[in-house]
């Protein structure tokens, strides 16, 4: 099982993340941990078996090269069915138990001289890390901890030194545990746990390990079974619950030719699924990968608070020196050293980000990193693509109007013949209508050419045929559409989107397409206005009059009609130049440039794969209601992060004053400081949206 480098922050020390395409078993992760611990110069090794991710800090380039040679060029053998050896580092929960046992049970039984010797021995790493930090020119938390412990040892206050180290160790264990449990809880809600699956081999069902399944294999899934791959149904029929992927509470019927995704469940029936994506390539695994990589996407507020935390350390040293010069009391000076603002600041903010991402997933929203939480909260402009976003993306052909010299059936037949080659919702609507009317459309045209957001061109019976927007047919190809102008005006006035069909340089007919609005669209627009969004814009390729009809129904004041893909991105970029913070919502292939250009790009769960890949936030239930939920979660998260900052500053300042006044001993200061850090960490992980809270989306729509 080979690893590849996926992200690196070079330096001395440097940070490196590697990943394998398949999840690791716990035994493989244990084995890998042992191998990495054998290297000198590695620190803070983190292995996530579910995502196949390995993250570590390395001391220098030589250490990095050695690790890469091991992981990127060699297989990681599976560990035999035996417990991991005692040398392997225990998990945070185990380390906590050992720490408490040693401090409260074993230590009091030891002779005094042994306790003093152990205290000095345990202090050496803290002091050494502090000295290394100073030699590297960094006056950070390591230097602060080392100085506080060294002062206690020099004063022969071994009890304070011992208590300080115990609390620092306890704080580290609790930090690791809270981080691990938060991330594990988030990925656990998404992880697919499948050991063996049934695969058809020469017509016979064979039990196969999931790791051995490859693209092209046909997997058999029966009642109650989880579908383990992304693929297409090639046999059988079943009702499939897709709540894990789309949020839909009701099962949907899946028959041959339909796509299915890993993590969805067969409620009734049997399916034969030909695998297209397996293991790390499935859409479900990609979602988990986004979460695992979220640490590389810190929110700006998180970085700011970490910088403030670093700035507080020199201030603490300076204040301690001033206290010693004025009072000549080492006790009061060391009490100042033990009150550190940075611990809670560094721990609470990333935990709040993880908790927000976890709660978002529970509400069918995937947020791909902390910076996008901040962008969601601070957005002041929202841009909606119309088709498939504000509308249901279930268009239907309502009217087919032939031009002189053409018949209605021939217009619909030829339109379906061209459109069947493309998966756009409008194209599917044309094909469905032709099938409904039993109009067979034989393949008599040459290879079709698809011009994104314009239309389709081909050669049929020796003549050029075109189908698409008015801009494409009339503006780009010079086809006169005036013979049907009266009918065109009527269709536009009724709110239809239009497809123009031309044959041999003349207009053959017009198709009126109805794309019903999503039931929640108007309520979401209203709720966003109430949440402080002062500018909402709709982009569409439709005619201006059609666009205005839709905008008026939804309460949108600003829209752009006949917009091309490049124009969508240009609109976003212009707003960026104006200093606006833009939230772009779209679901199509041609929305991808605009999604990339926005402060935060949002795609629907049933949107194009590229749109979901490019987007920073994915609405997994494919509905707009969760957009409002995402916005409210983000704002609540930012409010909590800010309040945690001020609470940290207030409480630690109180402890600092208590130390200066001599009311708090160094041990008490350390205890209160660590208790505060833990309390704020727990507060950071609490749910953001209380159950039963009324949503503006549940209120009447006031006739809009």
What amino acid positions are annotated as catalytic residues? Answer: 385
Question: Please, what sign has the CA dihedral across residues 298, 301, 307, 309?
Answer: negative
Task: Evaluate whether 575 touches 582 at the Cβ level (below 8 Å).
Answer: yes
Q: How far apart are CA 589 and CA 612, in angstroms?
A: 9
- Angle between helix 300-327 and 625-660 (nearest 10): 10
**H/E/C letters for each residue in 282-302?**
CHHHHHHHHHHHHHHCCCHHH
Mark out the alpha helices in 253-341 (DSSP H runs).
283-292, 300-327, 330-337
Q: How far apart are CA 113 and CA 123, in angstroms?
A: 15
Q: How far apart are CA 172 and CA 145, in angstroms?
A: 12
Q: How far apart are CA 469 and CA 452, in angstroms?
A: 11
Task: Evaluate whether 532 touches 506 at the Cβ level (below 8 Å).
Answer: no
Give ∠ CA 667-673-676 in degrees, rounded to 5: 140
**Which of 311, 347, 342, 330 is CA-nearest to residue 148?**
330
List Cβ neighbours of 417 (8 Å cut-off, separation of 6 or more). Answer: 441, 442, 443, 444, 445, 460
**Which of 446, 624, 603 is CA-nearest to residue 520?**
624
Joined tokens for residue 376: 């969601």
Task: Evaluate whether 392 touches 517 at the Cβ level (below 8 Å).
Answer: yes
Element containing residue 582 per DSSP (H, E): strand 582-585
Give ∠ CA 596-600-605 in degrees, rounded to 5: 85
Joined tokens for residue 667: 């041990």
Task: Evaluate whether 581 touches 379 at the Cβ level (below 8 Å).
Answer: yes
**φ and ψ at 491, to 5 degrees?**
-65, -45
- Residue 178 CA neighbour count, 13 Å, CB half: 27
């Amino acid at each position: 099982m080979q690893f590849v480098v996926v992200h690196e922050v070079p330096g001395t020390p440097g940070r490196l993340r590697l990943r394998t395409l398949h999840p690791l078993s716990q035994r493989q992760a244990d084995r890998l941990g042992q191998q990495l611990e054998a290297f000198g110069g590695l620190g803070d090794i983190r292995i996530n078996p579910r995502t196949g991710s390995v993250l570590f800090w390395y001391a220098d380039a030589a250490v990095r090269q050695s690790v890469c040679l091991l992981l990127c060029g060699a297989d990681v053998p599976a560990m035999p069915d035996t417990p991991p050896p005692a040398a392997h580092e225990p998990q945070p929960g185990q380390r906590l138990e050992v720490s408490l046992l040693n401090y409260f049970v074993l230590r009091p039984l030891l002779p005094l001289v042994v306790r003093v010797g152990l205290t000095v021995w345990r202090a050496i790493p803290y002091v050494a890390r502090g000295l290394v930090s100073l030699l590297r020119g960094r006056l950070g938390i390591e230097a602060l901890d080392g100085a506080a412990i060294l002062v206690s040892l020099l004063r022969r206050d071994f009890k304070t030194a011992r208590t300080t180290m115990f609390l620092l160790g306890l704080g580290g264990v609790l930090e690791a545990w809270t981080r691990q449990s938060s991330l594990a809880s988030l990925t656990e809600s998404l992880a697919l746990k499948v050991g063996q699956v049934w695969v058809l081999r020469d017509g016979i069902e064979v039990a196969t390990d999931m790791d051995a399944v490859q693209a092209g294999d046909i997997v058999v899934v029966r009642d109650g079974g989880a579908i383990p791959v992304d693929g297409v149904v090639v046999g059988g029929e079943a009702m499939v619950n897709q709540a894990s992927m789309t949020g839909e509470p009701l099962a949907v019927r899946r028959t041959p030719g339909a796509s299915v995704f890993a993590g969805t469940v067969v409620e009734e029936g049997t399916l034969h699924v030909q695998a297209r994506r397996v293991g790390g390539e499935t859409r479900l695994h990609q979602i988990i990968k986004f979460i695992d990589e979220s640490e590389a996407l810190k929110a700006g507020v998180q970085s700011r608070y970490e910088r403030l935390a670093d700035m507080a350390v020199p201030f603490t040293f300076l204040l301690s020196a001033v206290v010693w010069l004025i009072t000549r009391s080492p006790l009061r000076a060391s009490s100042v050293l033990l009150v550190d603002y940075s611990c809670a600041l560094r721990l609470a903010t990333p935990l709040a980000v993880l908790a927000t991402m976890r709660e978002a997933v529970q509400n069918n929203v995937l947020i791909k990193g902390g910076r996008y939480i901040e962008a969601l909260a601070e957005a002041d402009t929202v841009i909606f693509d119309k088709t498939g976003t504000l509308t249901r993306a279930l268009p239907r052909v309502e009217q087919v109007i032939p031009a002189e010299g053409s018949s209605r059936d021939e217009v619909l037949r030829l339109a379906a013949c061209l459109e069947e080659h493309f998966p756009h919702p409008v194209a599917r609507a044309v094909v469905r209508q032709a099938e409904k009317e039993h109009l067979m459309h034989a393949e008599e045209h040459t290879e079709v050419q698809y011009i994104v957001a314009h239309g389709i061109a081909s050669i049929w019976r020796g003549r050029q045929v075109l189908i698409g927007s008015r801009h494409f047919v009339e503006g780009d190809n010079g086809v006169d559409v005036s013979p049907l102008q009266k009918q065109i005006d009527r269709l536009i006035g009724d709110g239809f989107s239009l497809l123009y069909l031309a044959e041999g340089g003349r207009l053959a007919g017009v198709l009126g397409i109805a794309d019903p609005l999503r039931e929640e669209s108007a309520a979401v627009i209203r709720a966003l206005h109430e949440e402080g969004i002062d500018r909402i814009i709709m982009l569409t390729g439709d005619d201006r009059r059609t666009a205005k009809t839709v905008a008026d129904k939804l309460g949108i004041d600003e829209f752009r009609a006949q917009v091309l893909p490049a124009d969508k991105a240009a609109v976003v970029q212009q707003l960026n130049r104006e200093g606006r913070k833009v939230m772009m919502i779209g679901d199509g292939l041609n929305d991808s440039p605009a999604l990339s250009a926005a402060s935060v790009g949002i795609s629907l769960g049933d949107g194009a794969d590229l749109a979901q890949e490019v987007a920073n936030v994915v609405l997994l239930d494919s509905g707009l209601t969760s957009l409002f939920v995402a916005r409210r979660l983000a704002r609540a998260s930012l409010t909590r992060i800010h309040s945690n900052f001020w609470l940290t500053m207030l409480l630690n300042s109180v402890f600092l004053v208590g130390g200066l006044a001599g009311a708090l001993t160094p041990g008490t200061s350390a205890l209160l400081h660590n208790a505060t850090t833990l309390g704020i960490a727990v507060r950071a992980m609490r749910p953001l949206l209380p159950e039963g809270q009324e949503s503006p989306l549940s209120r009447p729509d006031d006739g809009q």
